[in-house]
């Protein structure tokens, strides 16, 4: 189990997880894309692989799909090893980033493709295709060609084409990255809804943490070919395992410091702004660099008794104001305020935070960078 692991999610009907990966690695020449990764996927649930480009998340997806061969490690589906099973024989389907709809076939023929290969009866195929298309609201377009569809429509057809085969696991490779903001939000809702209705396992790869939070029952945060943390969105957000995760998820203030004491899941950290005691991530230990993690929404200005700071800049975000302040020793703190900030840039004020909202994470930004 990698540092930061929280207990695995509920297991499948057979009392064992749907997919199990242990020590999974993939090396391309001198580059290690995936380094000994361990994780499991339940038979139902929406799981996302989250990370920046190059972190190995797409490689893992392709290893599961069968488009790449693992360099070493274990990969099992329903307890049976997948390593020597070619892609076309895995009960897994993929929604590709470019959708990969067959241009010479109509929407209906595209969706029916997998079924026609298995020689089901024509009536049965038509019925299943119809149901799949209806589920993604693409039934009226059944005779169109992919070329005549918009990006969002193509994506739905790609979805239908995958789920009509009733796979054990659906893989989605950054399916929403080509869509504009508005459409993306709508599709996120539809994807989540679809997964619930089908009650199956979805594994979704993305670099957008908002998307991961919106969709997932379980998030796997990756970096440099390794898993940094796995957990529910709430856990990852409020209890990040490391400074890297806290920073990647966004919106966190990280104050580097020295660990003074660790006991019963709580630690004491000495930082430039003072000594603080708070709950901590599992790998925080004496002698290791650590940071105090403060969500921007938990930092607020106070009339007296707080930390002296000068307002550096103010950003209006519509529903909130993002205020950056700088303390005497040069530390930067971000605050998310509901109302207009009390002082303009350049002015001095005092800030404080709710001690129960603080969290101590392993590592620092500088080390993480």
Partner 1 sequence: MRPLLNAWVCTIYAFMYLPVAVIALFSFNNSEMIAFPLQGATLSWYGQVLGDARLLGGLGMTFLIAIPTAVLATILGGASALALTRYRFRGKAAFVALLFLPFAVPKVILAVSWLLVLAELGVAKGLATMVVAQTIVILPFTTMVIASVLVRLDRALEEAAADLGATTLQTFARVLLPLARNGLIAAFFVAFVLSASEYVVTSFVSGRNQPLSILVASDFRFHLSPTLDALATLLVVANLAIVAASELIRWRARGRAVGRT
Partner 2 sequence: MERTRRLVIAALTWPVAAALLAFCVAPLLVLFAYSFFRVDFVTIVPDPSLANYIRVASSPTYRGLILRAIESGLLVAAISAVIGYPVAFFIAKRGRNAKSALLTLLLIPLYTGDLVRIFAWRVVLGAQGVLNSFLLWTGLIREPVRALLFSPFATHVVLTYNYLPFMVMGLWLAFEALDDRLIEAAMDLGAGAVARFVRVVLPLTVPGLLAGGLMVFVLVVGDYLTPQLLGGSSGITVISAINDLFGTAFDWPLGSAIAWTLLGLLGLMGAAAAAAMVRSAAARAMTAGG
Chain contacts with partner 1 (rule: CB under 8 A): 65-67, 86-89, 92-94, 96-98, 100-104, 106, 113-114, 117-118, 143-145, 147-148, 161-162, 165
Task: Give me the least distance between CB of 263 and partner 1, in Å please.
Answer: 51
Q: For partner 1, give the closer residue by CB, 88 or 199.
A: 88
Task: Give me the least distance between CB of 103 and partner 2, in Å please.
Answer: 18
Task: Give me the least distance between CB of 123 and partner 1, in Å please.
Answer: 20
Residue 84 near partner 2 by CB under 8 A:
yes
End-to-end Cα, the chain, rounded Å: 24
Task: Give me the least distance between CB of 66 and partner 2, in Å please.
Answer: 8
The SS3 of residue 249 is helix
Q: For partner 1, give the closer residue by CB, 97 or 153.
A: 97
Q: For partner 1, give the closer residue by CB, 98 or 150.
A: 98
Q: What secondary structure, in 3-state letters, does 138-166 show? A: CHHHCCCCHHHCCHHHHHHHHHHHHHCCC
Q: Which residue in 14, 52, 86, 151 binds partner 2 (CB under 8 A)?
A: 86
Largest Cα separation within the chain, whole Å, is 77
Q: For partner 1, give the closer residue by CB, 100 or 322.
A: 100
Of partner 2, partner 1, none, which one sits near residue 242, judging by CB under 5 to 8 A according to partner kind? none
Of partner 1, partner 2, none, which one sits near residue 103, judging by CB under 5 to 8 A according to partner kind? partner 1
Q: Are strands 31-41 and 92-95 parallel, antiparallel or unpaired?
A: unpaired
For 300, phi then psi, to 5°, come to -145, 155
Residue 355 near partner 2 by CB under 8 A:
no
Residues 174-203 that bind partner 2 (CB under 8 A): none
- Token match 């005779």: residue? 143
Contacts of residue 109, defined as CB under 8 A and 6 or more positions apart, other chains included, come to: 102
Please give the size of the binding site for partner 2, defined by CB under 8 A: 3
Task: Give me the least distance between CB of 53 and partner 2, in Å please.
Answer: 13
| Tokens coding 159 | 């979805």
Task: Give me the least distance between CB of 353 and partner 2, in Å please.
Answer: 44
| Tokens coding 301 | 């200005």
Q: For partner 1, give the closer residue by CB, 109 or 258.
A: 109
Task: Give me the least distance between CB of 86 and partner 2, in Å please.
Answer: 5
Q: Are 84 and 161 in contact (CB under 8 A)?
A: no
Residue 69 near partner 2 by CB under 8 A:
yes
The whole-angstrom separation of Cα 251 and Cα 50 is 16
The long-range contacts involving 4-7, CB below 8 angstroms and separated by at least 24 positions, are: 4/227, 4/228, 4/229, 4/230, 4/231, 4/241, 4/242, 4/245, 4/281, 4/282, 4/283, 4/362, 5/227, 5/229, 5/230, 5/231, 6/230, 6/231, 6/232, 6/235
Residue 91 near partner 2 by CB under 8 A:
no
- Taken in order 115, 119, 120, 121, the sign of the CA dihedral is positive
The whole-angstrom separation of Cα 304 and Cα 310 is 14
Contacts of residue 80, defined as CB under 8 A and 6 or more positions apart, other chains included, come to: none
Of partner 2, partner 1, none, which one sits near residue 148, judging by CB under 5 to 8 A according to partner kind? partner 1
Q: For partner 2, give the closer residue by CB, 69 or 131.
A: 69
Q: For partner 1, give the closer residue by CB, 118 or 197.
A: 118
DSSP tag of 242: B
Residue 264 near partner 2 by CB under 8 A:
no
Q: For partner 2, give the closer residue by CB, 88 or 199.
A: 88
Task: Give me the least distance between CB of 74 and partner 2, in Å please.
Answer: 17
Query: Which residues in this chain contact partner 2 in the complex, by CB under 8 A?
Result: 69, 84, 86
């Amino acid at each position: 189990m990698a540092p930061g692991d929280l207990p695995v999610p509920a297991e499948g009907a057979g009392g064992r997880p749907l997919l199990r990966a242990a020590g999974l690695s993939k090396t391309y020449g001198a580059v290690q894309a995936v380094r000994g990764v361990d994780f499991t996927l339940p038979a139902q649930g929406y799981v996302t692989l989250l990370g920046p480009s190059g972190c190995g998340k797409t490689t893992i997806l392709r290893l599961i799909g069968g488009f790449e061969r693992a360099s070493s490690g274990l990969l099992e589906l329903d307890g049976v090893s997948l390593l020597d099973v070619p892609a076309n024989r895995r009960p897994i389907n993929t929604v590709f980033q470019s959708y990969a709809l067959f241009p010479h076939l109509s929407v209906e023929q595209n969706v029916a493709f997998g079924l026609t290969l298995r020689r089901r009866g024509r009536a049965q195929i038509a019925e299943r295709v119809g149901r799949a298309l209806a589920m993604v609201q693409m039934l009226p377009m059944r005779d169109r060609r992919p070329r005549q569809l918009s990006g969002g429509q193509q994506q739905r057809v790609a979805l239908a084409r995958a789920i009509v085969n009733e796979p054990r696991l659906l893989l989605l490779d950054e399916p929403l990255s080509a869509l504009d903001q508005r459409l993306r939000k709508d599709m996120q809702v539809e994807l989540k809804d679809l997964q619930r209705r089908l009650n199956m396992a979805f594994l979704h790869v993305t670099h957008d943490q908002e998307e991961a939070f919106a969709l997932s029952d379980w998030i796997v945060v990756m970096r440099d070919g390794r898993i940094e943390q796995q957990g529910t969105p709430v856990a990852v957000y409020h209890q990040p395992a490391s400074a890297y995760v806290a920073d990647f998820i966004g919106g966190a203030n990280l104050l580097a410091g020295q660990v003074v004491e660790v006991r019963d899941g709580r630690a004491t950290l000495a930082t430039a702004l003072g000594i603080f005691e708070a709950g901590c991530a599992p790998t925080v230990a004496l002698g290791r660099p650590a940071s105090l993690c403060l969500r921007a929404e938990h930092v607020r200005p106070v009339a007296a008794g707080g930390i002296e700071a000068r307002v550096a800049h103010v950003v209006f975000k519509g529903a909130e104001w993002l205020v950056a302040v700088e303390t005497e020793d040069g530390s930067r703190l971000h605050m998310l305020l509901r109302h207009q900030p009390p002082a303009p840039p350049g002015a001095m004020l005092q800030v404080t935070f709710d001690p129960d909202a603080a969290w101590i994470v392993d590592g620092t930004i500088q080390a993480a960078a």
